[in-house]
Structure 1
């Protein structure tokens, strides 16, 4: 039996509890360290979640020999900077999405020597059995030839000081939410035997905020076989995190592809009627951490690797150009 994976967290972010702390407990991994911008913040987080080491700087955590893999929960603008630093410190990396501020920045990680280290982007939905089943049925003809895809990723971010709204931190709805819709479209295109091609995009800003930061975005893209993808993201709500695949002989609908702990339905409509498949309410993050452990301990392959991360950033950048907005700037 392999030793428990030892995880260090960069950033005392809210998402870290769902993404790593709870899954680690479920799978027998250990969160051994947390780093924040101040010792006080790190110590408070460590006390709340029972983490042994608390550091007041990210560099201190990277020098801790007990840490095997770094979970980077920092703002978008800091992902590449600290992913590079983690690799240079000899740590595996589980990075929050999107992987960087832009594709050129993400490619800096590709140029870095890895020496067998795992670089894993945190598109957690990709590892849940319900999503895997949706892709299987999309590709095997269950609903006939695919004609349309609609992916919605929306919630109401009412705190206008949130990092998602801040240009210097590479904010925007396409960055925070649209990265998921694009990722789904790329997966669907792959099972259809090709790639996704964005053809037009539009975006809106929130009144009084930096007009370069998109509050909402809609992307229209082409899929193999002539199908059309409509990809919608919004920081202004209403809450929606769904996937609808339409074919000539039916539809596949996943009502919530992000949080399956309360809704694990896959609704399948064909000529013979409707059926609902339920494939478990274990969280997407727990499935993801299981894949991280398998990659590090057993050398198992995984779909959200560095090449995939760069390809996703390429599409995000292209969507910003199509919408007439600037690509997020690098601060490196």
Structure 2
């Protein structure tokens, strides 16, 4: 009788195989190809709905891919960093062929954004379409209102207090192409698409910037940029600001006080005599003026700083500038009211003051167009 032998059992592994959870987070989902210029609906917190947006820049933060998006037909100050969980990828549209000509400029923008190491945004900008009547909360009060040298590290527990109005319109030289703040520009302006400063501290307020401003590279990675409210010197942390305040002797803008009514004062600052202050002022203003032309040569300009006075000094409210010599006799070139002081009539007051100066000079001027 033939002998029947059982087949030997093959030992496949030393340890039992792990069961695979159907919801295992280790499983990588296949995402569609996403690049700069793609358009995709993104959930907008203010509108509580998906709004069509364009991908402006892409970065890796903490191992997670993030996308800097611009909401189509919305003001650029609403641009923000979002993750893929806020996107409706089913309606993702690749860049059109007409945008292929701007590929080189997009590459430049991507290279600059990578070298900047833009800090992650922890709060979403809640703002409305500029065609609607909604507003945006862009600043909160700090806890150091009583002393300039007190502890300034209270950003974590702050809550929004007041709404601010949209950015005031500013004029640009007639040889430049004007825009309405809704569109991204190609070419050299592509490097300014991404906001590089996440938050600033100025006096009693923490203010969320609206636009790009060319501050030094070392400030880009700082969660908060601290600015002296009197000389407008920028510092990277609270210790640097405290050291600066022990040396800074200013309690008002440099220049001559040319107007005072109660607690309201105007200071006239010559861009040639006070170059450092004027340069710092232009950097601060660029955070809130999208189409401001930043001149590093401030010699041709006079700056008129509007301030509020209290026991600590003269706090900057806003400013306007004008050319010293112009063939068109413009009475102002640029005007800005800082967000904490908007909706209080300061903008109209500065415009009226600029006309008064023109009358004293026997000139009939208008704002620069």
TM-score between both structures, scaled by the size of structure 2: 0.23
Higher helix share: 1
Q: Highest CA radius of gyration, 1 or 2?
A: 2
Normalized per residue, the structure richer in strand is 1
Choose between structure 1 and 2 for higher RCO, CA contacts under 8 A separated by at least 6 residues. Answer: 1
